[in-house]
Amino acid sequence: MSLSRFLLSFVFTALIGTPLAHAQEPARGGTLTMVVQPEPPSLVSAFNSAGPIGVVSTKILEGLLTYDYDMNPKPALAETWKVSPDGKTITFNLRKGVKWHDGKDFTSADVQFSAMKVWKELHPRGRSTFAKLTAVETPSPLVAVFKLSEPSPYMMVALSGYEGQMLPKHLYDGTDIAQNPYNNKPVGTGPFVFKEWEKGNFILLERNPNYWDKGKPYLDKIVMRIIPDAAARAAAFETGEVLLGGFSPVPLNDVKRLEATGKFDLETKGYEYLAPLFLLEFNLKNKYLQDKRVRQAIAHAVNRDLVVKTVWFGFGKPATGPVPSVLTQFYSANVPAYAFDVKKADQLLDDAGFKRGADGKRFKLVHDFLPYGSDYQRTAEYLKQALGKVGIDVEIRSQDTAAFLKRVYTDNDFDLTSNFFYALPDPTIGVQRIYWTKNIKKGVPFSNASGYSNPEMDQVIEAVQVEHDRRKRKELIAKMQSLAQEDLPVLDLFEVRFFTLANKKVQDHTNSAEGVYGSFSGVWLKK
């Protein structure tokens, strides 16, 4: 680049950059009305990872850390931290002068209590995430030292306000934590203070004037409205009664129309932390699905592009394996792939010895789909069609969520499910549970339902859990992805792209991988 061009580009940056910076000056005040759906069962995420709880709870309660888009940790309640060379000791220096909303000081005793008594014992994923955590030492009120029996590199991504939420020890110690009345009226350290929850109607939060991040939050109030009907939510966006909603708050077929009004921002970033994945589980006890060639044939028979484009209106990306591509640190593209190829599928099924009968059919499978909405049902209908073309007769069976979970995870009474998982920021937390022999657990939702058990896979999974070296760990995770794609106990169909819909008035609503699970201390409204 010549000097003149360099200078020119510099001038350009200056010209374009400056006015933008001016426009971004946040304004104080205003009420942000958003939707949360469905209504959360309680308001504390520390031991219940349900999605809608996370949306509300993270504004009131915080974690030690927060994260950028690439999952690099940033300070929150912990100002600085240090991992010992052997990876077994992590020292957190807590922020000074942080107070709970009831005026008590936030100290290392709260950290110790939350980690040992809440996450480790009650959080659905906490038991495995914090399995190696043996103690939290509190040498001073502002220092918390995590002691691990073995290195747990994945623990560092589980300390957000959603995944590793701090609870006030003085309100929870000695109580039945899951039944504590403060679960419905939380007391936190966050930018917003819980004010009121009228069940079935709204949740009201107010600005915390004593928030540790001086000058923040910018908003005066947050109103979270419960609007159960998706079409009515779309109408509430259109009238401006609702300004923001996460997790694809309106029907997918309404999105184009809403976008055309020019009044809204459609943001698909901010879900990297969850990394949602849509997949088919095969029951390996089924005599047809036991055969790897049958599973591979099904993989070839399904047009994943079509599923994403037509059924899901483009809100997804065809998956290539068990680790979604948004997990940039771990994703590996170098895995066995199954291109859409009906001929090859037919060939594989013939080879497996399941020839077509006189009616053109080979065998029958029952397909149960997770009943989370019409998109899920339409996916099941597409699969019936696609597998029918290669001679597999599919019967779609529908039921409500409770019946689905019981059928799949307690009774193991299914052939094929279409299901939905969060891969979460680290494969040890979100992905291994589908493939690990030790996670074949009767009655436990979202465990290894296919019944897949491969000693080689188990070895890799267990090595990934304790490998402290970043590069070596990445290699192991790549191997895990290859194995998963080779054996195909589940078929990863596509990465779900949730979107956040926001009125253009709402500024800075999505600025990290946490998205709507962020604290919203930096969100502001344009006047």
- Residue tagged 């309106």 (tokens): 250
* CA distance to 38, 74, 114, 460, per residue, from 108 (Å): 34, 19, 10, 36
**39 is a contact residue toward other proteins (CB under 8 A):** yes
| Closest approach of other proteins to the CB of residue 461, in Å | 16
Binding span for other proteins by CB under 8 A among 140-148, 235-243, 382-390, 453-461: 235-243
Cα–Cα dist 301/323, whole Å: 21
| Closest approach of other proteins to the CB of residue 437, in Å | 15
Task: Choose between 77 and 133: whose C-beta lies nearer to other proteins.
Answer: 133
**229 is a contact residue toward other proteins (CB under 8 A):** yes
Token pair of 311 as six digits:
């059924």
126 neighbors 115 (Cβ within 8 angstroms): no
| Closest approach of other proteins to the CB of residue 308, in Å | 23
Number of chain residues interacting with other proteins (CB under 8 A) = 60
- Residue tagged 């019946």 (tokens): 403
* CA distance to 196, 236, 272, 373, 381, per residue, from 226 (Å): 13, 11, 25, 17, 30
Task: Choose between 139 and 228: whose C-beta lies nearer to other proteins.
Answer: 228
| Closest approach of other proteins to the CB of residue 347, in Å | 38
267 neighbors 499 (Cβ within 8 angstroms): yes
Q: What is the dihedral of CA 168, 172, 177, 178, to 10 degrees?
A: -60
**226 is a contact residue toward other proteins (CB under 8 A):** yes
Binding span for other proteins by CB under 8 A among 181-189, 287-295, 321-329, 378-386: 181-189
Task: Choose between 159 and 349: whose C-beta lies nearer to other proteins.
Answer: 159
Task: Choose between 236 and 480: whose C-beta lies nearer to other proteins.
Answer: 236
Cα–Cα dist 191/175, whole Å: 26
* CA distance to 57, 69, 272, 273, 357, per residue, from 509 (Å): 16, 14, 15, 16, 57
How is residue 313 annotated by DSSP?
T
What is the SS3 assignment for 33?
Answer: strand
Task: Choose between 41 and 314: whose C-beta lies nearer to other proteins.
Answer: 41
| Closest approach of other proteins to the CB of residue 47, in Å | 9
**253 is a contact residue toward other proteins (CB under 8 A):** no
The single residue among 95, 101, 132, 225 that binds other proteins, judged by CB under 8 A, is 225
Task: Choose between 181 and 262: whose C-beta lies nearer to other proteins.
Answer: 181
In what helix (H) or strand (E) does residue 44 lie, and over which residues does it extend? none
| Closest approach of other proteins to the CB of residue 479, in Å | 25
Binding to other proteins (CB under 8 A) within 444-503 occurs at 444-447
Cα–Cα dist 209/235, whole Å: 34
| Closest approach of other proteins to the CB of residue 33, in Å | 7
- Residue tagged 């597999």 (tokens): 392
Token pair of 220 as six digits:
């005066």
Task: Burial-class residue 242 by CB neighbours within 10 Å (0-12, 13-18, 19+).
Answer: buried
CA atoms within 13 A on the CB side of 295: 28
**138 is a contact residue toward other proteins (CB under 8 A):** no
Binding to other proteins (CB under 8 A) within 186-215 occurs at 198-202, 204
Amino acid at 294: V
68 neighbors 74 (Cβ within 8 angstroms): yes
Cα–Cα dist 144/131, whole Å: 18
Binding to other proteins (CB under 8 A) within 45-74 occurs at 48-51
The single residue among 268, 399, 437, 453 that binds other proteins, judged by CB under 8 A, is 399
Token pair of 516 as six digits:
């709507």
Q: Edge-to-edge, what's the strand order for the sheet holding 78-83?
A: 78-83, 89-94, 143-148, 133-140
The single residue among 181, 215, 262, 455 that binds other proteins, judged by CB under 8 A, is 181
| Closest approach of other proteins to the CB of residue 123, in Å | 9
**437 is a contact residue toward other proteins (CB under 8 A):** no
Task: Choose between 242 and 301: whose C-beta lies nearer to other proteins.
Answer: 242
Cα–Cα dist 464/447, whole Å: 18
**165 is a contact residue toward other proteins (CB under 8 A):** no
Q: Convert residues 348-387 into a mask of x (bound to other proteins by CB under 8 A) and - (unbound).
A: ----------------------------------------
| Closest approach of other proteins to the CB of residue 282, in Å | 20
Cα–Cα dist 168/57, whole Å: 14
The single residue among 79, 105, 213, 238 that binds other proteins, judged by CB under 8 A, is 238
The single residue among 239, 355, 358, 527 that binds other proteins, judged by CB under 8 A, is 239
The single residue among 99, 269, 397, 407 that binds other proteins, judged by CB under 8 A, is 407
What is the SS3 assignment for 322?
Answer: coil
Interface ranges with other proteins (CB under 8 A): 31, 33, 38-39, 41-42, 48-51, 121-122, 124-125, 127-128, 178-179, 181, 183-184, 198-202, 204, 221, 223, 225-229, 231-232, 235-236, 238-239, 241, 399-407, 409-410, 422, 433, 441, 443-447
